[in-house]
Structure 1
């Protein structure tokens, strides 16, 4: 009994540390991005060729140094975070809406709708992501809206399969059968009884996918397939600084650290949500 109590206490402390660390990392970056218009009114675009490639921590005006065009690295990291976070959040919201709708229809109504939707999902999962991204963006061109649209199209399948599996486990439960027996309509059953019971796994996957999409956007932009190079973004900063890694490492390292800490914070929050919302993840109880 004492051992079980000790295990629960240790697990609670660990998950609490995950929550605190996740909130600190993601909260710091989110607040910096939200207040970036006040902190850096120029949007990190002001150039000063006389102050180019200043190393970090050697100038109070440029705490993290400057890039090859004399632009402040700290300002561009904070302003660039706005693009990466926006792409990550909006693409996940779109994928959740589309995938959840498909999963609810396929799991609840089954029949030909389930067969067609799930086989289409299986085909999409078999396609190589990078090759499809290159073809898609090469045909339609680059831009924030196109990157978001592509991520929605590429990731709705995850939510569709997750929701469908949850709905299949719920549709024949007693409370659903009772609702049908008293004449409750299918749409109302889905909205009031099934959807609230599948929100937990959806929220967990959303949190993890925002982190994943930030990495995807940065990778696509690094390869010239994402955000317009004229717009500050973490992937663009990494691409701009790759030729200066030996002489001016800070141009690439600080946006890379911003990506790492933001993704780490979101993953920690996702792990905490999984432990909190998923009863099967609780051990020692």
Structure 2
């Protein structure tokens, strides 16, 4: 029962990690901030603080002198932007909506290789998380053999640990690429202020859940092995006392005596023999 609870806890953590990683990978809110851009000229009857107004003493004639009253910071406006692995979007001035550009095209040429490695690592991270979820779900629903369940448990632990390492490397590489793009990217994109967004936090939460699932899975495997070894030692000790075997007696003889005695008292000898073979296999581990 306790092993089933630990398996369910590991599966829940791994499933949360998978959902968080897919959500973060597909979003464009890894980083958020503002860009400082010059205000456009007001057109027609448009007025407001988001465009530069003209003031002319004579509204007629093309030779009239026009005055611009905005000076210093008044000539600039801050536009919000957000960027992810795939896109960088910023709001439009005096209009609703956003304009988006590929983040790969904004990255300096010297850092695009690192960005592609980050993308590949993120994809492998998602694939390994999905594989670990499938293995854990099979383990929960698998009732045929304890040994086979332990094998699946060990393999899912290895896959989950590898997924966590890949996720950590991918997140760190993207962080490095974004910081280099801020310093060396196009002039018409460089942010004035920026900070990490909710997708970035979600990505690292996914990594934390992944490593917690891996630790839970390894803990379940270790505890199961220790429980079987403890039960085997108690079984050998009880048979040594009952049949007065010497201490150097091989465990196989103890198992044979146990099988012979157990077959005489149970209605399913084949099941008893399978259980003892599983126990003997675990004793070798």
**Whose helix proportion is higher, 1 or 2?**
1
TM-score bin, normalised by smaller chain: under 0.3
**Whose strand proportion is higher, 1 or 2?**
2
TM-score, length-normalised on structure 2? 0.23
